[in-house]
């Protein structure tokens, strides 16, 4: 049994920790506890609930309004790990600058990033999006949705899906798979000359091995954009961004 005096001595330490990490606790509460409870109470998943909300409130065929409706849901109802509006603006800006014709997204989830990418593409562009979980599927006109784990899909993108190479890749699947999949894209020569790779959440939850490789391998020019965690502006600065990487020596990898 811990004596009350020792417990009291630890109290300031615990209170300091709680204050310091309060935003992460709120994230844990909203993204895990509330979702777990609602899943059990309603018998539906949070993705199904989000879709129902978007179907009921969004103007059909208006991509901006669909994204805004998703944002409303995430701010006011439940947390979804979509790229969100702040980092979404970075994605839109890079898309506008590069005007890529063949875009590959890793991690479709509810289709937020897919809608964001699709509405920013120039005419004639094609978007391929890979999702390992068949329940998380969303399709649009310019989009080819490929269901399967990225490590199995990437090696067959060319012969099975006709993607010669991509000039824009949006990585937003499991962070631990970023490095493996970048290496896969390189080894299958699926990155076009001067391709841009935009990787979400490289600082939080973080993809340190991917970042280290991208910064040190000499093939890429890296620029980390500082932003805040989707739907959690209060989470301290410097937590997470997208990272833009353009091949510096394109001929080495394409």
Ligand X SMILES: C[S@@+](CC[C@H](N)C(=O)[O-])C[C@H]1O[C@@H](n2cnc3c(N)ncnc32)[C@H](O)[C@@H]1O
Number of residues that bind ligand X (CB under 6 A): 20
**171 forms part of the interface with ligand X (CB under 6 A):** no
Q: Binding to ligand X (CB under 6 A): which residues in 98-117? A: 107, 109-110, 112-113
Out of 165, 200, 219, 244, which one is annotated catalytic? 200
Residue among 12 and 104 whose Cβ is closer to ligand X: 104
Taking the complex as a whole, the smallest distance from the CB of residue 110 to ligand X amounts, in Å, to 6
Distance CA 161, CA 46 (A): 31
Residue among 77 and 250 whose Cβ is closer to ligand X: 77
87 is catalytic: no
Residue among 82 and 191 whose Cβ is closer to ligand X: 82
Q: Binding to ligand X (CB under 6 A): which residues in 130-149? A: 130-133, 136, 149
**150 forms part of the interface with ligand X (CB under 6 A):** yes
Q: Binding to ligand X (CB under 6 A): which residues in 62-81? A: 81
39 is catalytic: no
Q: Quick check: 148 and 142 in contact, CB under 8 A?
A: no
Interface with ligand X (CB under 6 A), residue from 69, 165, 167, 177: 177
Give how far Cα 215 sits from Cα of 44, 91, 168, 197, 243, Å: 42, 20, 18, 13, 11
- Three-class SS state of 35: helix
230 is catalytic: yes
**50 forms part of the interface with ligand X (CB under 6 A):** no
Taking the complex as a whole, the smallest distance from the CB of residue 197 to ligand X amounts, in Å, to 14
Residue among 167 and 177 whose Cβ is closer to ligand X: 177
Sheet of strand 240-247: strand arrangement? 143-147, 126-131, 102-106, 166-171, 191-200, 240-247, 220-227
Polymer length of the chain: 254
Q: Quick check: 95 and 121 in contact, CB under 8 A?
A: yes
**Can you name the residues that pair with 106 across neighbouring β-strands?**
130, 171
Interface with ligand X (CB under 6 A), residue from 31, 174, 206, 246: 174
175 is catalytic: yes
Taking the complex as a whole, the smallest distance from the CB of residue 5 to ligand X amounts, in Å, to 46
Interface with ligand X (CB under 6 A), residue from 46, 173, 219, 225: 173
Contacts 24+ apart (CB under 8 A), 22-31: 23/232, 23/234, 23/235, 23/236, 24/235, 26/232, 26/234, 27/79, 27/229, 27/232, 27/235, 30/78, 30/79, 31/78, 31/79, 31/81
167 is catalytic: no
Distance CA 211, CA 96 (A): 24
**Active-site residue numbers?**
172, 175, 200-201, 230
Residues forming contacts to ligand X in the complex (CB under 6 A) are 81-83, 107, 109-110, 112-113, 130-133, 136, 149-151, 172-174, 177
């Amino acid at each position: 049994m811990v004596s009350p005096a020792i417990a009291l001595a630890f109290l300031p330490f615990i209170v300091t920790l709680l204050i310091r990490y309060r935003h992460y606790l709120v994230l844990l509460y909203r993204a895990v506890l509330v979702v777990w409870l609602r899943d059990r109470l309603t018998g539906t998943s949070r993705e199904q609930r989000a879709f129902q909300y978007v179907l009921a409130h969004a103007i059909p065929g208006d991509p901006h309004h669909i994204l805004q409706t998703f944002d409303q849901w995430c701010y006011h109802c439940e947390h979804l790990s979509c790229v969100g509006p702040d980092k979404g603006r970075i994605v839109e800006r890079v898309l506008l600058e590069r005007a890529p014709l063949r875009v590959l997204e890793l991690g479709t989830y509810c289709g937020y990033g897919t809608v964001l990418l699709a509405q920013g593409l120039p005419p004639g562009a094609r978007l391929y999006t890979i999702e390992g979980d068949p329940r998380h599927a969303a399709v649009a006109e310019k989009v080819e949705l490929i269901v399967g784990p990225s490590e199995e899909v990437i090696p067959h993108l060319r012969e099975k899906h006709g993607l010669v190479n991509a000039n824009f890749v949006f990585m937003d699947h499991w962070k631990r798979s970023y490095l493996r999949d970048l290496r896969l894209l390189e080894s299958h020569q699926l990155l076009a000359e001067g391709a841009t790779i935009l990787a979400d959440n490289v600082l939080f939850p973080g993809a340190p091995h991917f970042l280290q490789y991208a910064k040190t391998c000499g093939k890429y020019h890296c620029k980390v954009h500082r932003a805040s965690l989707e739907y959690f502006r209060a989470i301290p600065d410097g937590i997470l961004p997208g990272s833009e990487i353009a091949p510096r020596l394109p001929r080495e990898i394409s």
